Chains A and B, each alone.
Chain A
Amino acid sequence: MPPYTLPFEKPVLELENKLRELANFSESQKIDVSNEIDRMKKRILDTRRKIYSELTPWQKVQVARHPLRPYTNDYIQRLTKDWIEIHGDRNYRDDRAIIGGFATIDDERVLLIGTQKGRDTKSNLECNFGCAYPEGYRKALRLMKLAAKFRLPIVVLVDTPGAYPGIESEERHIAEAIAVNLREMFTFPVPIIVTIIGEGGSGGALGIGVGDRVLVLEHAYYSVISPEGCAAILWKDRAYADRAAEALKLTSNDLIAMGFADEIIPEPLGGAHGDPETMAETLKTVILRNLKEVKMLSDEQRLQARYNKFRAMGRFAEGGPPAKGAARRAPPLPAAPTPIMAGDTLADQQPPARE
């Protein structure tokens, strides 16, 4: 795959071009410019460091979608051994957007599942750009049941723009497939360690994302809707994706702050795609450490802790309207324990028209 530069990485690209020119010049003219070259290399490093320390949420989304970013398969190759892939949902077909199988990470035998993206047209057609159909979620469920039966911890790698919104998806009930996974993942007593390695696209990510630990790579994102989708709805224009990305609070730091993720896994300078080897090594270390901690709990403790973790997610006011201006201007609201409250009118708002 040819090198790919994100718009905000341009300064680095320019410096790299200069460096190359300098090296060529030195070689052709037989002049020693090693001092300049060293200085240039340092400048490249500094520039890259600066860019990556100041990424906006929208830029992070672009890093998370970088076409050279390591995908599930890359991590399987780098951090596991004795990989045995398992196929199919025993019902319809083998969805290539969610892959899974037995893997050994150091000494840990686990069941690993993950959403898989493609790098070229052929592989993208095969795995549908990482967007799973219902059978993908049902395959994941089958594999997790297998893991629960044979007491294998479950390691999940998430990298998907979302579940596939297509006719066949609806005909085979994608919503039901995701819902059942959500429910069942609360019942498997074996440890479940989820890592968002790239894109955490809404229900499609959550559909395999209920775990004892939810880890997130530094530049990965996790969101209820894509920034573009949100912009199209709230700003009526996809061009506002940068503002939507900011408003949605989807970066790894936001996820930690709000309690949706337990730990940020640092990426090498320039993002995971800059140094996949180091990335895989870090990922392995963090997954194994978390797995070790979660394994110390009894099954009941683990299930209760998993329940409590997700049970606590949500922010609201109780006992009275939320503080300040907003509520003060609101009209008196119906008293709390009235059995049947003042009705709303039929004509008030109709749902979308039926065709």
Chain B
Amino acid sequence: MPLFSKKNYSTVKVRKRDIPDGLWLKCPGCQEIIFKQELDENASVCPKCGHHFQMSRADRIKLLIEDGTFQEWDGDLYSVDTLGFTGTASYTSKLEENRRKTGYHDAISIGRGRMAHHDIGFGVMDFTFLGASMGSVVGEKVTRLIEKSTKARLPVILICASGGARMYEGMFSLMQMAKTSGALARHAEAGLAYIPVLTHPTTAGVMASFATLGDLIVAEPAALIGFAGPRVIKETTQQDLPEGFQRSEFLLKHGLLDMVVPRKQLKQTLVLVLDYLLDKQTAIKAG
């Protein structure tokens, strides 16, 4: 065998297209290349196939709340590593990394603001921060949102997303389910409206507490929504999952959701629903 034999493969030089990062995106829905600006102007919905991209908190607030009316509540809550949790990485380092990455302190922002002519308590969860997992801060902020809204007699709209429990906080994470649900019991007793909006993905502990306790439950199209993750279910049951399993449309068909609303119709739908639900005295006149 010759020492310098001819390679039995050849290298093809791929000419990388000279596109600045982040200007164009490939849509996971239709595989088309879309212009980022076009996406931004379209509420982060693919103009070609209607795929709903993830949306930042700031954009969520902009989408639903009138400019300049959002007042943030309790923005200075920080997660702490109570258990001294060290898996493959410590919780402290994970938190630090996510704070740096997102610029936020934790996975949710809450406050009050005006949506058209309705004064509302409003919260938005952020999947980019540790998968919007629910730890003490998320639970506490959801609870404060509901409690303060109960006191101020406000309806609550909460944009939900979550990958599940924040394991690093152990039982503190689990108990947020009870805490938030308890606050919702009082909000409901006060006769106030609560509408969670489920976005991709909303699962586990958040689903088994405040995400499913709405007077109405609204979801964005094609969002993954469920208690256990599809992989866990497949492993546990060894069954093939039905088509469209745990997607918004599947859950609408199976009776959990009241409606699946495309993002661009979300605001007008929510406003109209609140018009129906709210006592005329509590609604604030426009302007």
Interface window among B2-10, B149-157, B232-240, B261-269: B232-240
Q: Which of A315-355 contact B (CB under 8 A)?
A: 315-322, 326-327, 329-331, 333-334, 336-354
Interface string of A166-177 (1 = CB under 8 A from B): 110111111110
Instruction: Name the A residues within 8 Å of B99 (CB-CB).
Output: 330-331, 333
**Contact A340–B96 (Cβ < 8 Å):** no
**Contact B53–A343 (Cβ < 8 Å):** no
Shortest Cβ distance from A339 into B: residue = B70
Interface window among A94-102, A115-123, A143-151, A223-231: A223-231
Partner of A207, one of B102, B128, B208: B208
Instruction: Name the B residues within 8 Å of A314 (CB-CB).
Output: 136-137, 139-140, 172, 175-176, 179
A260 to B109, CA, bound (A): 27
State whether the Cβ of A255 lies closer than 8 Å to any Cβ in chain B.
yes
State whether the Cβ of A86 lies closer than 8 Å to any Cβ in chain B.
no
Decide: A352 near B226, CB < 8 A? Known: A223-B170, A311-B143. Answer: no
Instruction: Name the A residues within 8 Å of B188 (CB-CB).
Output: 183
State whether the Cβ of B282 lies closer than 8 Å to any Cβ in chain A.
no
**Contact A333–B105 (Cβ < 8 Å):** yes
**Contact B78–A182 (Cβ < 8 Å):** no
Instruction: Name the B residues within 8 Å of A318 (CB-CB).
Output: 74, 76-78
A321 to B251, CA, bound (A): 40
Partner of A316, one of B29, B78, B109, B228: B78
Interface window among A31-39, A246-254, A274-282: A246-254
Decide: A175 near B208, CB < 8 A? Known: A321-B78, A341-B57. Answer: yes
A201 to B108, CA, bound (A): 26
The count of A-to-B residue pairs whose CB atoms sit within 8 angstroms is 291
B40 to chain A, nearest CB (A): 8
A168 to B164, CA, bound (A): 20
A339 to B25, CA, bound (A): 29
B144 to chain A, nearest CB (A): 10
A135 to B139, CA, bound (A): 27
Q: Which of B89-131 contact A (CB under 8 A)?
A: 92-93, 95-96, 99-105, 109, 111, 126-128
Instruction: Name the B residues within 8 Å of A222 (CB-CB).
Output: 171
A77 to chain B, nearest CB (A): 30
Q: Which of A231-260 contact B (CB under 8 A)?
A: 233-236, 244, 247-250, 254-255, 258, 260
A152 to B212, CA, bound (A): 28
Interface window among B11-19, B58-66, B271-279: B58-66
**Contact A322–B80 (Cβ < 8 Å):** yes
**Contact B181–A336 (Cβ < 8 Å):** no
Decide: A319 near B22, CB < 8 A? Known: A182-B178, A249-B170. Answer: no
**Contact A352–B201 (Cβ < 8 Å):** yes
A230 to chain B, nearest CB (A): 6
Instruction: Name the A residues within 8 Å of B78 (CB-CB).
Output: 316-318, 320-322, 327
A320 to B36, CA, bound (A): 35
**Contact A184–B75 (Cβ < 8 Å):** no
**Contact A344–B104 (Cβ < 8 Å):** yes
**Contact A343–B58 (Cβ < 8 Å):** yes
A207 to chain B, nearest CB (A): 7
Shortest Cβ distance from B129 into A: residue = A344
**Contact A183–B181 (Cβ < 8 Å):** yes
Partner of A315, one of B127, B172, B179, B237: B172
A250 to B173, CA, bound (A): 12
**Contact B224–A354 (Cβ < 8 Å):** yes
**Contact B210–A179 (Cβ < 8 Å):** yes
State whether the Cβ of B159 lies closer than 8 Å to any Cβ in chain A.
no
State whether the Cβ of A202 lies closer than 8 Å to any Cβ in chain B.
yes
Q: What are 6 residue pairs bridging A and B, where the CB atoms are less than 8 Å apart in the complex?
A: A178-B208, A206-B177, A210-B178, A223-B171, A314-B136, A322-B79
The 9 closest A-B pairs by CB, nearest first: A165-B228, A234-B87, A182-B181, A314-B136, A175-B207, A343-B58, A175-B227, A313-B175, A176-B212
Q: Which residues of A contact B (CB under 8 A)?
A: 163, 165-167, 169-176, 178-180, 182-184, 186-187, 202-203, 206-207, 209-210, 222-225, 230, 233-236, 244, 247-250, 254-255, 258, 260, 306-307, 310-311, 313-322, 326-327, 329-331, 333-334, 336-354
